[in-house]
Chain A
Amino acid sequence: MSLDPALNVEGDLPQSLSYWQDVRKRFFSNKLSIVGLSMLSFLVLIAIVGPIISKWSTDGMDSHILTSPFTFGHWLGTDDLGRDIFARVTTGIRLSLTVAIVVTTISVFVGVTLGGIAGYFGGIIDTIISRFIDTWQVIPFVLIGFAIITVFGSSFWVIVAALVFTGWYSTTRLFRASVMQVKSLEYVEAARASGAKTSRIILRHIGPNAIPPIIVVLAFTIAGSILSESIYAFLGVGFREPTPSLGVMISSSRNFLTDHPFVFFIPGSILVVLTLSIVLIGDGLRDALDPKLRGLK
C-alpha cells in the first residue's frame, strides 16, 4: 500500500485541541475580550456586593444633603431627592442585567426553536415563519409599548415582554440561516448516507455547528436589551420612578444636568461601560468561534 511516510511518524505529537478548547484559548489570548471580561466582572461584583455593604437604601431620602457630590457617608453622593446614588446605581446594574438576561434567554429559546424548525424543515413551514417575521418587523413597538404600559403598568414582566417582542425575531432569523447553511454541508449528507437517524443528525452534526453564531448574538442581545430598557425608561415607557433603573436615573437627572452633572454622569457612564464590556466580550467570542481563524495565534 502506498503510504505517505510523513503520516506515520511515531513519537510526540503536539497537543490536539478540541473545538471548544481552541475557542477558550483564543478568547483568552485576545486583549480586548479580557478587558471586557474584567470590566463586566467588576460591575457584576459591585452589583452583588454594593447593596449589601451600603448602609443606605435605594429610596431612603436624606433631606439634608440634596444633589451633593461625594459627601461623607454617601460614596457617590445623593440625587435631587437626597437618595444615595451608590445604592441606586448598584441596584440599577442588577435590574438591567436581570432584565437583559431574562429577555435574552427567552429570545434565544424562541429563536432556536422557531429558527431551527424553519431552517431544518424548510418548505411551507419556513415560508410561514419567515413571512410572519417580515410582518412583525414593521410594527412600531415603541408606540405599542406606550399603550401596553398605560394599560398594564410598568412591572418587570411587562417590560420583559415588550423587549422580547422586539428581540425574538433577529435570533430566529439568524438561527434559521445558520441551520440552513449547516444542513446543506456535505458532512450532513455523509451522516445521512452512513445511516444516521434524524435525531442524531440534528444533535451531533447540525446542532453543534449551528450554535456558535447564536453565542455571539447572545452577547449582543444582552447589550442591546440593557440599552433598550434604558431607552424605554428614558422615554417613559419602561420602568418609572422610584424604581432604581439606570434609564430612570438618567431620565430624572436631565432636569438639573447643568447644575449637578454628576447625578447624570454616574448612571450614564455605568450604562456605557456595562454595554461596552458586553460588546467587547461579544467581539472576542465572534473571533474565537470563527472556524476560519482556527489555529491562528
Chain B
Amino acid sequence: MSKPLLKVTNLEKKFPIQRGLLKRTVGHIHAVDGISFELAEGETLGLVGESGCGKSTTARLILRLLEPTSGEISIAGKEISSLSREEMRQERRNTQIVFQDPYASLNPRMTIRQIVAEPLIVHGMAKDDTDPRVDEMIELCGLSREFGNRYPHEFSGGQRQRVGIARALVTRPKLVVLDEPVSALDVSVQAQILNLLDDLREKFGFSYLFVAHDLSVVSHISTRVAVMYLGKIVEIGTRDEIFNHPHHPYTKALISAVPLANPRQEKIRKETRIVLTGDVPSPANPPSGCRFRTRCWKAQDICSTTEPALVQIGGSQAACHFPE
C-alpha cells in the first residue's frame, strides 16, 4: 500500500435529538461512532452497510458538508477538520462528490455546460463555461458536446449521472466520494456508469471512496472494502479477502444474501444462507458491548460487556470476539 491519501482517525458524529418548544436536547443519534480507515492513492475503497448505518454521513463528514463531532480527517497529509471556511472552500477542488439522485443533484436552471463548468469557475480555474476542459470532460463522460446547451430535464437518469460525474471530475480532484452513485439507476445503466468510473480512474488516477449498499456493485469496483454496522466499521480488508474469507458474522450474513448467477451455486447459497433476525437497533440507544450481538447467532456473555476492537485476522481486520 502506498502512502495514504485519506486518513480518517476516530471520526465521530452525533446528531442531537431535540424535543418540545424550547428544543431541549433529549439524546443523541450516534450516526458515526469512532471510525478509522485509510485510503491509498489510486485505490477504491467500498463502504458498505445497511440503510442508516452511517455510510452517507461518513461521506459527508469527509467532505465537511457536515461538521464532525470529533476525530481527524487528513487528505494528502493536510488536516481538513481545522481549516477555516475559506481555506476549506479552496481545498474542495481536491475532493469532490457524486450524489445518489441524479434528478435532485443538478440545478434545473443551468445548462449542462454551466453545471460542469461551475467547479472550475468557483476555483478561478476557468473564466466561463466556454473553457475547453468543460466540453472535454463532458465527452470523457460519454456525452456529446452538442448536449452542453441543454437542460437537465431533457436527459435520462443515466445521462444525468454522467453529468454529475463530469462535474465532480472536472477539477481533477485527488479524492472522489461516490455516494451511492448507481443505486437510483437501472441495472443495465449501472454497469455503464461503473465501467465509466473505472475507466476514468485508470486514466487519471483518481481515488474513490465508494459508498453503497449493493455488495455486487461494491465487489465490481472496489480494491478494498469496509463494512459498517450502526456507526462502526466491523470489518475492513481487501475485496478478495472480504468476499472469499469473511471473518465477521455480519459480513458473512451480508455476503450470503447476495444472489449468485450460477444456478448450482445459488442452490447451495439458498441452503446455507444466513438470515438475520430482528432489526437494526436504534442508533440513539445502541446495545452495550458489541453492537451486532442482538442479531448475532454466536453472541456470548462477553459480547454484551466488552466492545471488540478491530484486530488483524488473516488478510483483513475484524471487530469480533469470535471471528470465523
Contacts and interface: CB of A to CB of B under 8 A. Distances in A.
Nearest to A201: B122
A10 B146 contact: yes
Interface string B147-159: 1011101100011
Interface of B: 63, 65, 89-93, 96-97, 99, 101, 104-111, 118-119, 122-123, 142-144, 146-147, 149-151, 153-154, 158-159, 164, 167, 191-192, 195-196, 199
Contact of B144 (A8, A194, A197, A291): A8
Contacts of B99: 186, 189-190
26 contacts: A1-B195, A1-B199, A2-B142, A2-B196, A3-B142, A4-B142, A7-B147, A8-B143, A8-B144, A16-B149, A17-B151, A19-B109, A187-B106, A189-B65, A190-B99, A193-B65, A193-B92, A193-B96, A194-B92, A194-B96, A194-B122, A195-B92, A195-B123, A197-B122, A200-B122, A205-B107
Contacts of A18: 109, 111, 151
Nearest to B154: A16
A245 to B, nearest CB: 41
Given A8-B143, A18-B151, A204-B110, 19 more contacts: A2-B196, A3-B142, A7-B143, A16-B154, A17-B151, A18-B111, A185-B104, A191-B107, A193-B63, A194-B92, A194-B119, A194-B167, A195-B89, A195-B119, A195-B122, A200-B122, A208-B109, A209-B109, A291-B153
Contacts of A55: none
B104 A186 contact: yes
A2 B65 contact: no
A31 interface: no
A4 B160 CA distance: 13
Interface of A: 1-4, 7-10, 13, 16-19, 185-187, 189-197, 200, 204-205, 208-209, 291, 294-295
A7 B159 contact: yes
Contacts of B106: 187, 190
Residue among A8, A9, A200, A291 having the largest count of chain B Cβ atoms under 10 Å: A8
Contacts of B89: 195, 197
Nearest to A17: B151
Contacts of A208: 109
A1 B142 contact: yes
A13 B154 CA distance: 12
Contacts of B122: 194-197, 200
B180 to A, nearest CB: 12
B65 to A, nearest CB: 6
Contacts of A194: 92, 96, 118-119, 122, 167
A11 to B, nearest CB: 9
A187 B102 CA distance: 9
B101 A186 contact: yes
Contact of A291 (B65, B101, B108): B108
Contact of A13 (B146, B192, B199): B146
Given A18-B151, A208-B109, A7 B144 contact: yes
A291 B107 CA distance: 12
Contacts of A186: 99, 101, 104-105
Contacts of B109: 18-19, 208-209
Contacts of A195: 89-93, 119, 122-123
Contacts of B119: 194-195
A164 to B, nearest CB: 30
Residue among B93, B118, B123, B147 having the largest count of chain A Cβ atoms under 10 Å: B118
A187 B104 contact: yes
B3 to A, nearest CB: 25
A190 B143 CA distance: 20
A193 to B, nearest CB: 5
A190 B142 contact: no
Contacts of B154: 16
Contact of A193 (B97, B144, B158, B199): B97
Nearest to B145: A8
B142 A294 contact: no
Contacts of A3: 142
B153 A295 contact: yes
A190 to B, nearest CB: 5
Residue among A192, A195, A204 having the largest count of chain B Cβ atoms under 10 Å: A195
Q: List the 10 shortest-distance A-B pairs measured between CB atoms, nearest first.
A: A195-B92, A186-B104, A186-B105, A194-B119, A187-B107, A16-B150, A8-B144, A196-B122, A208-B109, A193-B97
B150 A4 contact: no
Contacts of B192: 2, 4
Contacts of A294: 153
A295 B159 CA distance: 18
Nearest to A127: B23
Contacts of A1: 142, 195-196, 199
Contacts of B93: 195
A16 B106 CA distance: 17
Given A187-B105, A190-B99, A291-B108, A7 B142 contact: yes
